Chains A and B, each alone.
Chain A
């Protein structure tokens, strides 16, 4: 019997080594540099964004990237690295935004992206930096005044090619004909040209289109409750997430509110929600 016990002892050195290796690995993982450290070292922020989603991220007549998200990205770069020019934008399309951040191609994504629980399975969202929701833009000459009027097969709705859009259309406008595009700007072109009667898109986007085009109006009913657009990044990096989330907090209710208001007013023509709800 002593022999059997002694035989067990031969495992001890192996277990000790395994234990030491495991602990070293764990501490390496913990000490693994956050993406934030990389950004500071690189001295440049890489942001994934769209090029076809006014007013958040789109291109102007000269082909330059402009928009609310773009300006906000520059503000973030200024706060992090001291210079608003230290941003590099990676333009992706709708399905491409997730792999862009998850693969490390971009540090974060600021791309007119609404927070949904199923999306949160794949990326990490900060708190929302702007209120959103989904509204419907419709052409005036059709005389449609409400959602229920639109719900008929003589109208065509322009959708974006993501699953949330499809589900909303099936729920709210089951009778309507559907055209699906991969960019908001082509949806808008379709409505403008008459190919579609209406489009569903983020409320700020729809409001912006309506404000800049007299022939369009926004239907009073929203297709969703108030939602939020947020910055997203690869999940698991707490340090980066915390900084970004803190930055959004500072923009909406803290030290960067003035700059945030400026950007907000520039693109939406009105003031953002006040810093505090109490006086």
Chain B
């Protein structure tokens, strides 16, 4: 119908923001996730405890509440930060908690013997990690990593509540103007499903092709 066609440019603009936010959040979550995973495995007990408590707290609170905290803190502090960036950062930190589990599982599941074999061959730590472990870890991490990315993309929809013009917000705006919730929200849902389902197919493919069951 022509309503859909007319709405497409606006929805596309919203989709751009959704994708930008997802990208930034994924980047942040991955970096922090790796960091937290390493801390949880290799660190001194005290630092490990701090990180684990932090991750537990982050996982126990709804993402929406964290987004509100960020939004109001930004406003109160007077910083000139766009809620789009602020939202991406919060989503990134929230999902870093999930990512750290993914990476932790990947690193731990590699048999200790691989480390020892690497050292026995005379390789230094970074060589062991770089040449041997990383490929094994990636095979295990691939699928859950992508599943977390799917969660991140869905998570960006929540910033619609604080007024960021991403896909869901734009959809709501159009519905308020045109009163066609079924039509417009179906299109919005379809866009999310297409993106996320393709990613999940990729994850399934990875799991089948190079997946590594211990």
Contact between chain A and chain B defined by CB under 8 Å: yes
Name B52-85 residues within 8 Å CB distance of A: 71-72, 75-80
Q: For chain A, which range describes its interface: under 10, 10 to 19, 20 to 34, or 35 or more residues? A: 20 to 34
Given contacts A104-B78, A186-B176, contact A63 B13 (CB under 8 A): yes
Q: Which residues of A contact B76 (CB under 8 A)?
A: 99, 102-103
Q: Bound complex: CA of A193 vs CA of B179, how far in Å?
A: 7
Does A188 belong to the interface (CB within 8 Å)? yes
Q: In the complex the two chains form, is A93's CB within 8 Å of B78's CB? A: no
Q: Is the CB of A100 within 8 A of B75?
A: yes
A93 touches B162 (CB 8 A): yes
Nearest CB to that of B165 among chain A residues?
A63
Q: Is the CB of B75 within 8 A of A92?
A: yes
1/0 per residue A181-214: CB within 8 Å of B? 0100110110011000000000000000000000
- Is B163 in contact with A91, judged by CB distance below 8 angstroms? yes
Pairwise interchain contact B176-A188, C-beta atoms closer than 8 A: yes
Q: What 1/0 mask marks residues of chain B from 154 to 184 whose CB sits below 8 Å from any chain A CB? A: 0000000111010000001101110101000
Question: Across the interface, do B77 and A185 meet the contact criterion of CB distance under 8 Å?
Answer: no
In the complex formed, the residue of A with least CB distance to B71 is A96
Whether the Cβ atoms of B78 and A185 lie closer than 8 Å is no
Rounded to whole Å, the gap between the CB of B74 and the closest CB of chain A is: 8
In the complex, what distance in Å separates the CA atom of A100 from the CA atom of B176?
26
Q: Using Cβ atoms and an 8 Å threshold, which residues of chain A touch B206?
A: none
Asked whether A149 is an interface residue with its Cβ less than 8 Å from the other chain, the reply is no
Query: CA separation between A95 and B72, bound complex, in Å?
Result: 9
Known A51-B163, A63-B165, A93-B162; contact A189-B176, beta-carbon cutoff 8 A = yes
A-chain residues with CB within 8 Å of residue B32 when the two chains form the complex: none
A59 at the interface (CB under 8 A from B): yes
Interface check A105, CB cutoff 8 A: yes
Q: Which residues of B contact A104 (CB under 8 A)?
A: 78
Asked whether, in the complex, the Cβ of A192 is within 8 Å of the Cβ of B179, the reply is yes
**Residues of chain A lying within 8 A (CB to CB) of residue B77:** 103
Tell me whether A103 and B75 are in contact in the complex, defined as CB-CB below 8 angstroms, given that A61-B177, A63-B10, A186-B176 are known contacts. Answer: yes
Please measure, in the bound complex, the distance between the C-alpha atom of A26 and the C-alpha atom of B162, giving whole angstroms. 40
Closest Cβ–Cβ distance, residue B153 to chain A (whole Å) = 22
A59 and B75 contact, CB distance less than 8 A: no
CB-CB under 8 A from A186, the residues of chain B are 172, 176
Q: Cβ of B78: which chain A residues have Cβ within 8 Å of it?
A: 103-105
- Expressed in whole angstroms, the Cα–Cα distance for A252 and B99 within the complex equals 58
Bound complex: CA of A185 vs CA of B10, how far in Å? Answer: 18
How far does the alpha carbon of A51 sit from the alpha carbon of B170 in the complex, in Å?
Answer: 12
**Which residues between 65 and 120 of chain A lie within 8 Å of chain B, taking CB atoms?**
91-93, 95-96, 99-100, 102-105
Given A51-B163, A63-B13 in contact, is the A105-B176 Cβ separation under 8 Å?
no
CB distance from A66 to the nearest CB of B (A): 13
Q: Tell me which residues from 62 to 114 in chain B have a Cβ below 8 Å from any Cβ of chain A.
A: 71-72, 75-80
Docked-complex contact A96 and B179, CB < 8 angstroms: no
**Complex interface: chain B residues within 8 A of A93 (CB):** 162-163
- Taking Cβ atoms with an 8 Å cutoff, the residues of B that contact A are 10, 13, 71-72, 75-80, 161-163, 165, 172-173, 175-177, 179, 181
Given contacts A63-B10, A185-B176, A188-B176, 8 further A-B contacts (CB under 8 A): A63-B173, A92-B163, A96-B75, A99-B72, A99-B76, A100-B75, A105-B80, A189-B176
* 27 A-B contacts (beta carbon < 8 Å): A61-B177, A63-B13, A91-B163, A92-B75, A92-B163, A93-B162, A93-B163, A95-B72, A96-B75, A99-B72, A99-B75, A99-B76, A100-B75, A102-B76, A103-B75, A103-B76, A103-B77, A103-B78, A104-B78, A105-B80, A182-B161, A185-B173, A185-B176, A186-B172, A189-B179, A193-B179, A193-B181
